[in-house]
Structures are given as C-alpha cells and as structure tokens.
Structure 1
Amino acid sequence: MKKRNFINSLLQHTRRPDGFLGRMMLRGMNNGHAPLTRWGAAHIEWQPQWCVLDIGCGGGATLLRLLERCPDGMVCGVDASPESVEFSRRKTARYADRCSVEQATADDLPYGDRAFNAVTAFETVYFWGDLHRAFAEVARVLKPGGVFLVCCEMSNPGNDTWTSRIEGMQVFSPEELSAALADSGFTDIAVYRRGKENCCVTACTPDGRRTAEE
C-alpha cells in the first residue's frame, strides 16, 4: 500500500511538477518521452531559421531537440509549473542567447501575434482543459502558414488507466483534436498513428504551406 501511495503521489506531478517528486518526474519525462518526441517531430519539415514555441516544455529535453533542428532560429518554452521552468532553464543554459523559458499556460501565452513559425505540444494537451480556447491562442501566436504539432502517447478516451489516477487529466481522441483544430481556424490537418495509442496531429494556420516559409 505504501508503494502504491508513493507512485500515486509521484503521478500527480505529471500535471504540475513541484519539489523533489516533481524533479524526479521531470527527469523521467526527459528520458521517457524521447522516442515519442522524435517520432512526432519527424512529421514536420523543420527549417534552420524558424522561431519555435514548445508548450508544456517540462524538463527541457524537447527544447534541446528543437534547438538542434533550428540551428539558426530561436526556441521558446512555456510551462505552468515554476519547477519545470527552472529545470528547463538549467537544461538549456548554454543556449541562453537563443532560447528562453517562461511560466505560462496554453490559453494565455506571453507573446505577440504571429511570433512563431511552429508551435509544439508533446504529452501536454491532457491538462489544457478548454481545447478551443487554447488552440485559438496557439493560432494567434503563429505566423500565417505556421505549423502546430500535437503529440500524445494516449489517444483513447475510453482507457482510464491514467486518467483515473492523475487529477485533472483528460485524454482526447485524434478526431476530437482534429475537430477542435478545425473549429479554431486551422487547416491542412493530418493525423498520424503509431501502435495502439500513440498519435500525432499536425495543422497549419490559413494561407500558408506546411513549411511556414515567410
């Protein structure tokens, strides 16, 4: 019972890591999410000069991968957790000249209109609540033709293995994600699947190409 209680306590830090257990979770995320992140990112034609935003940047490992894919660009990260923000800042410290991390949520991004060529969201939409509000905010900060990438390990709302244990977690199907994206004005929506539940959805802001060229 004690072990089960510890695991359940640790799992609550999936949503908003904090303190010692939060740092444990962030280290686990950096390692455990790597294969999914690489698979999802492979569906985008990255450009070296792009400005990219990663929402729910967690432990910062994804920021490093984006910096590699856009060596002449800028990469920003946001996370609702102060612990994650500090963790990510330390992780990316050597790239401080072209990488910044701020505390923020998906539905209230601290950036101007049309600031980014691409926005990514790996393993985080589970906690966004109102998808339409968040997706509208993502559309606001994307350039015309900008690319939005959503990647999830779980995509079956009927599977409550984790939602029954993690407070505030909601799993969305690819169809639900696609519908919310379309309602928020996105176009060129494409769904990719891997295995039983891994899912990746890409979409563009109107009047542009998937490469988000200026």
Structure 2
Amino acid sequence: MRFMQWLKERRLGQCRRPSGLLGEYVARRMNRYHYPLTSWGLDHVLVGKDNFVLDIGCGGGRTAGRLARLAPDGLVVGIDVSDKSLGLSRRVNRKAIQQGHVAIRKASVMEIPFPADTFHLATAVETHYFWPDITKGLAEILRVLRPGGSFVLIAEVYRCDRFDARNRKWLELTPMAYLDTTEFHDCFAAAGFDGIGVYEHTEEGWICCVGRKKRPPAAGGNFF
C-alpha cells in the first residue's frame, strides 16, 4: 500500500514537470487521456486557418499537433518548462516542425518570450494548476494576444459540489490551484480579459474558461 501511494504521488508530481522514464510515460498518457477534454474545450473557440496559436504547457504535444491541423496556413508554438515534455512534443510533431507549422520552445507562462500582440489564440490544457500566480500568468497571456484574440483554459479539476469528493483525492496527493467558477471569472477579469465565458460540462466535471483581448477603439470621430 505504501508503494502504491508513493507511485501515485510520483505520477502526480510528474504532471507538474515530467522528467525521466516516468515523466515520458505520464506525458504520453496525458496525450491519450486528455483528448476528449481538449476536444470539448476547443469547441468553445474558433481557430482560423492562418492563425498564430500559442499552446501553454504543451506537454506531450498532441494538442499542438491538433491545432496545427486546424491552422494549416498559420503557426502553432508550444511552450513548456519540462525538458522531457519538450522532447516528446518535438518527436510527436517532427513533421509539422520540419514543415514550419509547429515550433516548440522552453518557456514559462510567467515570462512568455514573444512580443506583445503576436497570437490570435492561446490555449492551456490541464496546466494552470501549477502556475506560480494565475492572475499574473493570465496577464502575460493577454499581453501576447493580438487585439480581438482569445484565450481558452481547459481543465478537469475545479471546485464544484458534485465532483468535490473526486477532486479532493487529487488535492491530497499534490498541491494545485482549486478554483470555482466565480474565482476563474474574477481572475480573468483582474488580468484584463473581456468577453469572459465560463462553461461547465456537468456530466464529466470539466471546466472551460474563455476570454478575449479588447480591440482598440476605431479611429475617427462620430459623424452622426
């Protein structure tokens, strides 16, 4: 029993920053396990064929590959702090990288190495739990979005009555952010996002939060 508890804790720790052989296993498993969750979340945003997209915490790279297929004339950039995840993401997306459709960079959400107003869309799947500061991370994402661009946060663990018992089991094994729908909305608003939407999949216990970067006022005066 002690060994199984240790193994669970090690696996959850690998979700934060995969490393070694166990990290490789966890990253590959996340590629498979998160597919339905990611599909549901991405249904809440539009991906243009020529969009520049940022995938934050790209993990095993499957989401970056999906986004590249949705934006065949654009570019998808995946960032992660884990060398193990970066290596797997590059292998999974080798062809797309060679074709110039995907790029994988080592970086943190707290300091995204791109100029302001770069991306049409940013995504974060199952990664906000471990950000040092959620509101500051959201503000950094907002900085690199183009005016009118969107960010979607997708997660399967959030504070809600129906799934609280299930979620508490994860919280007992590893520290992670545990927000309810109001707290998510407030974080997005505090970071400066506009048009905020918070959506729940009540049968699965999933959450999806979408925010937009405001467009600047149109030039010229009101002639009427």
TM-score norm. by structure 2 comes to 0.89
Q: What secondary structure is seen at the aligned counterpart in 2 of 1:150? A: strand
CA–CA distance in structure 1, aligned partners of residues 17 and 25 of structure 2: 12
Shift of residue 163, structure 1, vs aligned partner: 1.6
Q: Does 1:59 align with 2:60?
A: yes
Kindly provide the amino acid, as one letter, of the partner of residue 114 in structure 2: Y
CA–CA distance in structure 2, aligned partners of residues 161 and 7 of structure 1: 11
- After superposition, give the CA deviation of every residue in 1:127-149 in whole Å (9 maximum; x if it has no partner): 11311110110011000011000
Kindly provide the amino acid, as one letter, of the partner of residue 155 in structure 1: Y
CA–CA distance in structure 2, aligned partners of residues 8 and 109 of structure 1: 29
Kindly provide the amino acid, as one letter, of the partner of residue 84 in structure 1: S
Q: Which residue of 2 aligns with 1:212?
A: none
CA–CA distance in structure 2, aligned partners of residues 154 and 7 of structure 1: 17
CA–CA distance in structure 2, aligned partners of residues 10 and 178 of structure 1: 30
Q: Which residue of 2 aligns with 1:45?
A: 46
User: Which residue, 165, 170, 189 being the options, matches 1:182?
Assistant: 189
Q: Does 1:154 align with 2:157?
A: yes
Q: Does 1:138 align with 2:135?
A: no
CA–CA distance in structure 2, aligned partners of residues 24 and 107 of structure 1: 26
User: Contact (CA 8 Å) 2:198, 2:209: kept in 1 or not?
Assistant: yes
Kindly provide the amino acid, as one letter, of the partner of residue 76 in structure 1: V
TM-score norm. by structure 1 comes to 0.93
Q: Does 1:111 align with 2:114?
A: yes
Q: What secondary structure is seen at the aligned counterpart in 1 of 2:36? A: helix
Equivalences, count: 207
5+ residue gaps, structure 1, are 209-214
Kindly provide the amino acid, as one letter, of the partner of residue 17 in structure 2: R
5+ residue gaps, structure 2, are 217-224
CA–CA distance in structure 1, aligned partners of residues 199 and 20 of structure 2: 35
User: Contact (CA 8 Å) 1:156, 1:197: kept in 2 or not?
Assistant: no
Shift of residue 196, structure 1, vs aligned partner: 5.2
CA–CA distance in structure 2, aligned partners of residues 161 and 111 of structure 1: 37
CA–CA distance in structure 2, aligned partners of residues 161 and 4 of structure 1: 12
Q: Which residue of 2 aligns with 1:102?
A: 105
Q: Which residue of 2 aligns with 1:200?
A: 208
Shift of residue 3, structure 1, vs aligned partner: 2.5
CA–CA distance in structure 2, aligned partners of residues 173 and 123 of structure 1: 15
**Percent identical residues:** 35
Shift of residue 171, structure 1, vs aligned partner: 1.9
Shift of residue 174, structure 1, vs aligned partner: 2.2
- After superposition, give the CA deviation of every residue in 1:23-43 in whole Å (9 maximum; x if it has no partner): 010011000000000000011
Q: What secondary structure is seen at the aligned counterpart in 2 of 1:164? A: helix
Q: Which residue of 2 aligns with 1:28?
A: 29
Shift of residue 160, structure 1, vs aligned partner: 2.0
Kindly provide the amino acid, as one letter, of the partner of residue 19 in structure 2: D
Give RMSD over aligned pairs: 1.3
Please tell me whether Structure 1 or Structure 2 has the larger radius of gyration of its CA atoms: 2
CA–CA distance in structure 2, aligned partners of residues 33 and 125 of structure 1: 15
Shift of residue 205, structure 1, vs aligned partner: 0.3
- After superposition, give the CA deviation of every residue in 1:45-77 in whole Å (9 maximum; x if it has no partner): 221000000000000000111011111110000
Q: After alignment, is 84-93 or 188-197 more displaced?
A: 188-197
Higher helix proportion = 2
